A = this chain, B = another copy of it.
Amino acid sequence: MSPATRPTDAELAILRVLWERGPSTVRQVFEVMSEEKELGYTTVLKMLQIMNEKGLVQRDITDRVHTFSTTQTQTQTQQTLLDDLLDKAFGGSSTSLVMQALATRRASHEELAEIRKLLDLAEGRKR
């Protein structure tokens, strides 16, 4: 099992593409990322190789053109990142993190309702 290590920024940028597109070739990832920022094809390739070694992505070798996909869902990775942030900046208090996120960020009416529903669930009461 992977000890769920926190992806670096560059790794996260690649994961974002894979989450959005699903399994992709190096070129496909490269194309998407090129729109944001100029970078070399081999840079993306190398990153994917490293991420493969770390277990962040897996590759399908069957075709000549390899296809990469994430080994963790976006949700799982988000959890890892949240845990890390919680630990390093919020003294482990998820509540203060949530409140901090709510206090300064705008959320739509529907979203707030969604969160409220979740709260009810968390509190274990039916409505």
Number of A interface residues at 8 Å Cβ cutoff, please give it. 42
Binary interface encoding of chain A residues 63-98 relative to chain B, with 1 for a CB under 8 A from any of its CBs, else 0: 000000000001101110110011011110011111
> Is A101 part of the contact surface with B, judged by Cβ < 8 Å?
yes
Complex interface: chain B residues within 8 A of A105 (CB): 86, 94
Complex interface: chain B residues within 8 A of A88 (CB): 9, 12-13, 16
Q: Is the CB of A118 within 8 A of B99?
A: yes
Q: Is the interface of A mostly helix, strand, loop or mixed?
A: helix
22 A-B pairs, CB-CB below 8 angstroms? Answer: A12-B88, A16-B89, A16-B91, A75-B100, A78-B90, A82-B97, A82-B101, A85-B85, A86-B101, A94-B105, A95-B107, A95-B114, A97-B101, A98-B98, A98-B107, A101-B101, A102-B118, A102-B119, A102-B122, A112-B123, A116-B116, A116-B119
